[in-house]
Structure 1
Amino acid sequence: MTKNKEVKYLTEEEQQELLEKFDPEAGTRKLSGILGYVAFFGLLAFSLFQLYTAIFGVFTAQIQRTIHLGFALSLIFLLFPANRKKRQKGKLQIAWYDMVLAIASIGVGAYWPLYFVDLVMSVGRINTLDFTVGLIAILLVLEATRRAVGLPIMIIALLFILYGLFGSNMPGFLSHRGLTIERLVQTMFFTTEGILGTPLAVSSTFIFLFLLFGSFLIRTGVGQYFNDLSIAIAGRSIGGPAKVAIFSSALQGTISGSSVANVVTSGAFTIPMMKNLGYKKEFAGAVEASASTGGQLMPPIMGAAAFLMVEFIGNGITYWDIAKAAAIPAILYFSGIWIMTHFEAKKLGLRGLTKEEMPSRREVFGKVYLLIPIIAIILLLMSNITVTHAALYSIVISIIVGFLNKDAGMKFMDIIYALVDGARTALAVAAATAAAGIIVGIVTKTGLGLKLANGLIDLAGGYLIPTLFLTMVAALVLGMGSPTTANYVITSTIAAPAMILLGVPDLSAHLFVFYFGIIADITPPVALAAFAAAGVSGGEPIKTGIVSSKLAIAAFIIPYIFVLSPELLMIDTTWMETAWIVFTAMTGMIAIGAGVIGYWARSMHWLERTFSIVGGLLLVYPETLSDITGLIIFTVLLVLQYVWKQDKGGGNSTSETNTALKNADYSKVKP
């Protein structure tokens, strides 16, 4: 057999360059000297404040949220440059106006705690000082969001502000009386309906702690263990490295809320392996991009937007209810990618890793105790304790496991660094949720949500499917330029009510917009996760995005299914019914995957591919008649595949034959 080329992995510097190129959250300054210490201890203080309130109880809503906001804004202006393109590595690039903005942010964060009694007693009336501070707070949030999250979400928030001020000039049903500038400022900063609203409330409690948990998991060595475990489980199978990427990214989603960060960290390891095995550059990048993006869909810890969903839906729903409902769709999503990479590997005749390329399974499975924090948080979320305490206990457990892991060599300073890293990760989330609060505040004050919901239904002619399609398009477009958190807030405020008005259950409606907001990361023309993967693989970005969308086809199908049939979310079903739904849906994903790739036991004719996809869709849809029809189509196709394969003498594809010839050992052949 011919020897494989040496696999070239990205260095840490190359990974960081890619992150900074495609992920605004990674573009921070490298401060040194006094300012370096200020930023370090500021981040540490941020985490300690959050831990203190988690342990001893949060302060009054306005105080808790403004302190959280003050920490985030001031640190963003210290760490994120005004112009990322001009940032030079290793040099101090902080202007005088950054210091002014950071100090102003501290003042904004301290305003409610200092004047709490006076502000409460004013009963909605604000004086000149209040107005000035509130206006500064709005401007600081917009600029901090631009720096830490990106320009698109800042523009969207600004457009909503302009709509609030000049709504009386809008045509048709969009028209409203308009807000005065004083009323706008009062709503945005002196009520809990604007900047200090529900999104920032969730950021200042649940989200921060789970980001901190993820930071501790990395220090514990769990992140690296996910890679080793994935190789031990899937490495030897057909097309092993691609399956390693899928499995690893599903696990890495537990500790990373960013699709781009997941792509770069996992992809730096898996993409070169896939290329070395024989996958095309675009396919290797697409596998990692689609799998990494799905990390936010994977329970028990989903993206930050899932925590917002608890508050937005209300009605006594818990985070565990959301995680449980998302379980089957997430399994189907990753199964779909796994199945298609398997069929692609069979079509190309690709092998798995050799025994020499594999880590010792005994050593890998001997460290299974590193999964204790993950198991613990699942059990804690299933119990009756609060989400906050579940995160707290899981952090403590991860620290204990970190000290037990001799390879990680966790020390006291690692705890400090984990606290700093967790706070750094939370900065962009805090900015995004503050900007999302502006949008929600305008929607609430102007009644825009109901107006747009009714307008969406009218545009769709009152039919559910067209309404779902328009909602999908809106979520994908918004997701191309804004993080999942802000995307979910906007679409759940504007589009989800339209579905609910048409009789869709609240949970189904909110998960629908949540799904498409996340999938926007791999949907061209602006597919940041796919572009980052192309940066690792060396493939063509748009083509990588197209292949990523093809691999993630389950994410474009399943939301429609669980809206039309909520049983897929385990709503009002028994365990027997759930087991049958999982069986038929998994069978359906096999048929869909084969049809999309064009290979099963052998290459498929276009007519077979069509029937395979149709039969798969019927199986995924949880309804008796569709299941029976789908199973009949599946069985017929399966029989035809294997019967015709035997008739053709084994059914190796041309690619398989070429690979076998190329890898044959000719040294013993006599002339």
Structure 2
Amino acid sequence: MDNDVNELVAQVDTGARHPAGLPGKILYGVPIVWSLFQLWYASPLPFQFGFGVFNDTEARAIHLAFAIFLAYTAYPALRSSPRDYIPIQDWVFAALGAFSAAYIYIFYTDLAGRSGAPTTFDLVTAIIGMLLLLEATRRALGPPLMIVAIVFLTYTFGGPYMPDVIAHKGQSLQKVMSHQWLTTEGVFGIALGVSTSFVFLFVLFGALLEKAGAGNYFIKVAFALLGHMKGGPAKAAVVASATTGLISGSSIANVATTGTFTIPLMKRVGFPGTKAGAVEVAGSTNGQLTPPVMGAAAFLMIEYVGISYIEVIKHAILPAVISYIALVYIVHLEALKANMSGLPRRNNPTIAQKLLSFTGIVAGACIIGFAVYYGIGWIKDLAGDAAIYIVGVLVAAAYIGLLKFATTYPELEMDDPNNPVLELPETGPTVKAGLYFLLPIVVLMWCLIVERFSPGLSAFWATVLMIVIVVTQRPLLAYFRKHQTQGEFKRGLLDCVDGLAHGARNMIGIGVATAAAGIIVGTITLTGIGQVMIEFVEFISGGNLMAALIFTAMICIILGMGLPTTANYIVVSSLMAPVVVSLAATNGIIVPLIAVHMFVFYFGILADDTPPVGLAAFAAAAIAKSDPIKTGIQGFMYDIRTAILPFLFIFNTELLLIGIESWFELIIVIVSATIAMLLFAAATQGFWLTKSRLWESLALLLVAFTLFRPGYWWDEIYPPTETLPATQITERAAAIPENGKLRMSVQGENLDGKFISKVVMLPLGKPGDGAERLADAGLEVRTEDGKVYADNVMFGSSAQQVGIDFDWEIVNLEIAADRPPKHLMFIPALLLLGFVAWLQRRRMGPPAAQPQIA
């Protein structure tokens, strides 16, 4: 790997210091201890043995203590600071920072006994801890997140001196430090909790997968399957980046892992350095969107939105898949435009090998998912609680069997991409030589989907299997190959220990980032700026939802230029998610909270390749020896397809698989969304069957939009809802199906005296009398002069949660209109598409020159 790329990955992910002697051993040993602590905390063992049980707050404190200690020892203070030894002041800062972070754990009982009345020592510790956390954040992540945190802290203290629109009464030093450091409202809040409970185990799982050789396996398989196609190395790079997304939640590490092999090969078949780097960047940034292992921000959604991880995966799967399919298609179009070829195969492919294309890879991933859920899932129905033990035995048998099977094929070794003669590996032997790497992913999916374990416990069991694989694969492979086994077990143990150390060092930045982002969340809860932001955005957007979404996307990209994806997501979702949901309701649109959080998640990831600070683009440019700014711009142009998706699924939540009621409807959504994304890619590339004219590209965009959101045009022809008088509220409540929702328009004054008008969806439970169902939802109504008012809204009820307040008027009710299916709009769209295809085919050259889609 290029030294510049190595240095960049170290600076961003693991720390650039590698001292010798005792300091080096400490810097190697402490991450291992951290990994072992996290494994212990995630496991069921503490509860079975009755000791070493940590509650959430204690675990967060220990987690942050490790992160701050390593931030000062692994990351130099300045560019000119030494890399080969650790200065004495950094040891002092590391010890003080670790003590301050662990303070809540060390004095947990004492702090609980004097809640709300911190001592001088408490405050001094909190202040020192806050300052050291900010400096640790600067070292590990650069100045931007530290500056953002300082701005929010300044706002907390300087409320009375702020402009009127954001002014507040201000807070004392004692109140702020107590809130931010001695409670779970600030630094030790939800974000750090997610890093402690979920993220660490998934990052460790990925580090062990990489150490076992899975990264090399995925790259080789991608090249074996796709390298022969037009622009094959670029298509293989996309697929390799998607599969490597299972291993790394870092787009920069993804570029470094796959890019060192893929970028030189892309250049060999005709891609300019800028485009070769851009393809790798676009594929790697999207790696964080790929279920089942997504970026750290995906785990935060579980807590912020209040849904399970399975639901997050369900909502994320379709946009991620069609985004990757479109990127492969963009690469194909680039290859067609430049008349590129693929790499030579070792021998003539069989029919089966020809069928193994990108479509086959996607289908294979789906088959694995269905096999886990339906094929293995019946064991759960048959054996009940004993199923986990039966599956454990089956996995062990499958591991031994697949290892022995792998030894019948040559070992996988990474070729030198700069070798002047390079042939593609044979497909069958390559795929079969590492099938056992899929077992940990199967176990992870089993635990998540069938057993419905928490993400942390699921990652624990998958990581345990990975530890077994890393330790035993070397001696077992040597035994089955009848090679010398002496020393192989020791090498496996060393690989495992290295994986534990590397996984923990990968977590330093995430640990301090989630803690620093907690400062922002603590400021929001302490000052009430969230409500101020709603009014501010509503003012600058003029109440227009699309303007608010564009504003939110811009904030994500601007902050994301300096903030890691996780911190970016925490900041923007905390501030903007309630704003978008509230503004949408005011516009009569019900936007699910998960759709807004996915919106922020997507644009936070896109910031990794956005110039001038897209770090993934800098890593790719270092490998491609191209201009990083041009590489970033080209990568963002390829990622326009990903940038358009969030706007679409805000208005058409079917893309997130929300509101789909049948398999037939699901198939229509998947097929139409895939075709639409391919057409969008063709339109933005200016090339479909041949080079497109401007009006043809516009026509393709129109067709793509219609396939993505047929309801837009249909709503102009047939109103989606019918309005009923509010006086029918009890009758309509009685008619709503079980667990259905009553849609109604409400208006009234909030506590600040501002008049609010919006549409809400009130969830109703079991069938029954209308008045009783409303009461169960926390709403009692009265009628005066033909108008209906909320006579009582129960605290904490569904009615309060959707935003109804006491004495608000229920203006009217809205029910779904009886109208033809909106998918009829596909007919004129496909006719227009056929017309464009006919025109382009007429302009194409003779049959021998016609490009064939691989």
With the length of structure 2 as denominator, give the TM-score of the two structures: 0.72
Residues 430-439 or 544-553, more deviating: 544-553
* Mapping for residues 272-311 of structure 1, pairs under 5 Å: 272-311=264-303
1:63-111, Cα deviation, whole Å (9 max, x unpaired)? 111111111111111111101x22455x22x222101101102322432
Residues 560-569 or 56-65, more deviating: 56-65
Query: Structure 2 regions of 5+ residues with no counterpart?
Result: 48-52, 347-422, 479-487, 585-589, 712-822
- Secondary structure of the residue aligned to 2:171 is coil
Is the Cα–Cα contact under 8 Å of residues 15 and 268 in structure 1 kept in the other structure?
A: no
1:350-401, Cα deviation, whole Å (9 max, x unpaired)? 1111014111222212122221212221232112212121101111222344
1:271-298, Cα deviation, whole Å (9 max, x unpaired)? 0000011011111111000000000001
Is the Cα–Cα contact under 8 Å of residues 68 and 94 in structure 2 kept in the other structure?
A: yes
Is the Cα–Cα contact under 8 Å of residues 616 and 634 in structure 1 kept in the other structure?
A: no
Aligned with residue 73 of structure 1, among 68, 71, 94: 68
Paired residue total? 635
Q: Is 1:233 aligned to 2:225, yes or no?
A: yes
Name the structure 1 match of 2:17: 29
Taking a change above 3 Å as real, the CA distance of residues 352 and 622 of structure 1, as seen in their structure-2 partners, is: farther
Aligned with residue 668 of structure 2, among 580, 583, 600: 580
Name the structure 1 match of 2:155: 163
Q: Is 1:338 aligned to 2:328, yes or no?
A: yes
Name the structure 2 match of 1:312: 304
Name the structure 1 match of 2:846: 649
Taking a change above 3 Å as real, the CA distance of residues 588 and 63 of structure 1, as seen in their structure-2 partners, is: same
Is the Cα–Cα contact under 8 Å of residues 333 and 682 in structure 2 kept in the other structure?
A: yes
Higher strand proportion: 2
Name the structure 2 match of 1:364: 430
Q: Is 1:63 aligned to 2:58, yes or no?
A: yes
Name the structure 2 match of 1:39: 27
* Mapping for residues 379-390 of structure 1, pairs under 5 Å: 379-383=446-450, 384-390=452-458
Is the Cα–Cα contact under 8 Å of residues 690 and 840 in structure 2 kept in the other structure?
A: yes
Distance (whole Å) between structure 2 residues aligned to residue 346 and residue 76 of structure 1: 48
Name the structure 1 match of 2:318: 328
Q: Is 1:260 aligned to 2:240, yes or no?
A: no
Name the structure 1 match of 2:441: 374
Is the Cα–Cα contact under 8 Å of residues 329 and 558 in structure 1 kept in the other structure?
A: yes
Taking a change above 3 Å as real, the CA distance of residues 404 and 37 of structure 1, as seen in their structure-2 partners, is: closer
Is the Cα–Cα contact under 8 Å of residues 568 and 622 in structure 1 kept in the other structure?
A: no
1:531-588, Cα deviation, whole Å (9 max, x unpaired)? 2211211222222122111211221111011100111100120332121111111111
Residues 284-293 or 635-644, more deviating: 635-644
Name the structure 2 match of 1:669: none
Taking a change above 3 Å as real, the CA distance of residues 460 and 651 of structure 1, as seen in their structure-2 partners, is: farther
RMSD across aligned positions (CA): 1.8
Is the Cα–Cα contact under 8 Å of residues 339 and 589 in structure 1 kept in the other structure?
A: no
* Mapping for residues 125-524 of structure 1, pairs under 5 Å: 125-314=117-306, 317-356=307-346, 357-366=423-432, 367-383=434-450, 384-402=452-470, 403-404=472-473, 406=477, 411-501=492-582, 502=584, 503-524=590-611
Taking a change above 3 Å as real, the CA distance of residues 595 and 652 of structure 1, as seen in their structure-2 partners, is: farther
- Secondary structure of the residue aligned to 2:54 is coil
Shift, 1:633, TM fit: 2.3
Name the structure 2 match of 1:667: none
Taking a change above 3 Å as real, the CA distance of residues 235 and 622 of structure 1, as seen in their structure-2 partners, is: farther
Shift, 1:617, TM fit: 2.4
Shift, 1:169, TM fit: 0.8
Distance (whole Å) between structure 2 residues aligned to residue 359 and residue 576 of structure 1: 40
Aligned with residue 634 of structure 1, among 813, 817, 833: 833
Residues 133-142 or 519-528, more deviating: 519-528
Is the Cα–Cα contact under 8 Å of residues 567 and 622 in structure 1 kept in the other structure?
A: no
Distance (whole Å) between structure 2 residues aligned to residue 528 and residue 487 of structure 1: 15
Distance (whole Å) between structure 1 residues aligned to residue 831 and residue 846 of structure 2: 26
Is the Cα–Cα contact under 8 Å of residues 173 and 451 in structure 1 kept in the other structure?
A: yes
Name the structure 1 match of 2:658: 571
Shift, 1:616, TM fit: 1.8
Distance (whole Å) between structure 2 residues aligned to residue 341 and residue 24 of structure 1: 29
Residues 626-635 or 117-126, more deviating: 626-635
Is the Cα–Cα contact under 8 Å of residues 591 and 634 in structure 1 kept in the other structure?
A: no
Distance (whole Å) between structure 2 residues aligned to residue 525 and residue 36 of structure 1: 35
Which consecutive aligned stretches of 4+ in structure 1 deviate over 4 angstroms post-superposition?
407-410
Name the structure 2 match of 1:661: none
Distance (whole Å) between structure 2 residues aligned to residue 543 and residue 482 of structure 1: 21
Larger radius of gyration: 2
Shift, 1:651, TM fit: 8.3
With the length of structure 1 as denominator, give the TM-score of the two structures: 0.92
Distance (whole Å) between structure 2 residues aligned to residue 603 and residue 147 of structure 1: 49
| Paired amino acid for 1:544 | T
Name the structure 1 match of 2:36: 48
- Secondary structure of the residue aligned to 1:81 is coil
Taking a change above 3 Å as real, the CA distance of residues 144 and 608 of structure 1, as seen in their structure-2 partners, is: same
Q: Identity across aligned pairs (percent)? A: 37
| Paired amino acid for 1:583 | V
Is the Cα–Cα contact under 8 Å of residues 5 and 619 in structure 2 kept in the other structure?
A: no
Name the structure 2 match of 1:662: none
Residues 547-556 or 146-155, more deviating: 547-556
Shift, 1:415, TM fit: 1.6
Query: Structure 1 regions of 5+ residues with no counterpart?
Result: 1-9, 657-671
Name the structure 2 match of 1:557: 644
Taking a change above 3 Å as real, the CA distance of residues 274 and 87 of structure 1, as seen in their structure-2 partners, is: farther
Distance (whole Å) between structure 1 residues aligned to residue 267 and residue 223 of structure 2: 16
1:291-344, Cα deviation, whole Å (9 max, x unpaired)? 000000011110000001111111xx1011011100010012111211111011
Is the Cα–Cα contact under 8 Å of residues 124 and 190 in structure 1 kept in the other structure?
A: no
Is the Cα–Cα contact under 8 Å of residues 585 and 621 in structure 1 kept in the other structure?
A: no
Is the Cα–Cα contact under 8 Å of residues 56 and 193 in structure 2 kept in the other structure?
A: yes
1:229-272, Cα deviation, whole Å (9 max, x unpaired)? 11122111111000011000011111111111111221111000
Taking a change above 3 Å as real, the CA distance of residues 237 and 29 of structure 1, as seen in their structure-2 partners, is: same
Distance (whole Å) between structure 2 residues aligned to residue 302 and residue 545 of structure 1: 22
Residues 444-453 or 396-405, more deviating: 396-405
1:448-481, Cα deviation, whole Å (9 max, x unpaired)? 1121122112211112111111111111111111
Residues 179-188 or 375-384, more deviating: 375-384
Distance (whole Å) between structure 1 residues aligned to residue 611 and residue 32 of structure 2: 38
| Paired amino acid for 1:177 | K
Taking a change above 3 Å as real, the CA distance of residues 208 and 309 of structure 1, as seen in their structure-2 partners, is: same
1:574-622, Cα deviation, whole Å (9 max, x unpaired)? 3321211111111112222222222222222222122122222222225
Is the Cα–Cα contact under 8 Å of residues 293 and 519 in structure 1 kept in the other structure?
A: yes
Name the structure 2 match of 1:659: none
Distance (whole Å) between structure 2 residues aligned to residue 337 and residue 213 of structure 1: 27
Is the Cα–Cα contact under 8 Å of residues 336 and 551 in structure 1 kept in the other structure?
A: no
Is the Cα–Cα contact under 8 Å of residues 76 and 148 in structure 1 kept in the other structure?
A: yes
Is the Cα–Cα contact under 8 Å of residues 297 and 303 in structure 1 kept in the other structure?
A: yes
Name the structure 2 match of 1:609: 697
